[in-house]
């Protein structure tokens, strides 16, 4: 059981690294630092579920961004399958951005 935990933790870190390579086309900050990723679940079968939001419900990338996230996460060797669920509860606000993102955008 112990190995599996380390496995999923390592996989979680790899997933975060992938998420940090995906950028919101309107803001020059990655979706992870922007706070668009609410949760990442990895089960013992290495199926990944990502709960994320968009900056606005009518975001121009509402159709393409979740697909890009799924595809990039699925491309990880250890990932069996990936699914993205979009939620607007709670709605995204600038408060969800990391300090790094705020600094990047000159908000600090």
pLDDT score of 59: 82
Cβ–Cβ contacts within 10 Å for residue 53, how many? 22
pLDDT score of 23: 94
Give the 3-state DSSP-derived string for the chain, with helices as H, strands as E and coil as C: CHHHHHHHHHHHHHHHHHHCCCECCCCCCECCCCCCEEEEEECCCCEEEEEECCCCCCCCCCCCHHHHHHHHHHCCCCCCEEEEEECCCCCCCHHHCCHHHHHHCCCC
Domain architecture of the chain: domains with CATH: 2-94 (3.30.300.130)
Q: For residue 4, is pLDDT > 70?
A: no
The 10s digit of each residue's pLDDT in 92-101 is 999 999 999 9
The 10s digit of each residue's pLDDT in 32-91 is 999 999 999 999 899 999 999 999 888 888 889 999 999 999 999 999 999 999 999 999
Global pTM?
0.89
């Amino acid at each position: 059981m112990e190995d599996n935990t380390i496995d999923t933790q390592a996989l979680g870190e790899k997933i975060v690294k992938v998420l940090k390579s995906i950028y919101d086309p309107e803001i020059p900050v990655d979706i992870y630092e922007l706070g668009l990723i609410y949760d990442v679940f990895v089960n013992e079968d290495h199926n990944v579920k990502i709960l994320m939001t968009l900056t606005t419900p009518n975001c121009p990338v509402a159709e393409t961004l979740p697909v890009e996230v799924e595809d990039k996460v699925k491309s990880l060797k250890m990932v069996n399958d990936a699914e993205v669920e979009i939620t607007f509860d709670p709605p995204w606000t600038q408060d969800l951005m990391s300090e790094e993102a705020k600094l990047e955008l000159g908000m600090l």
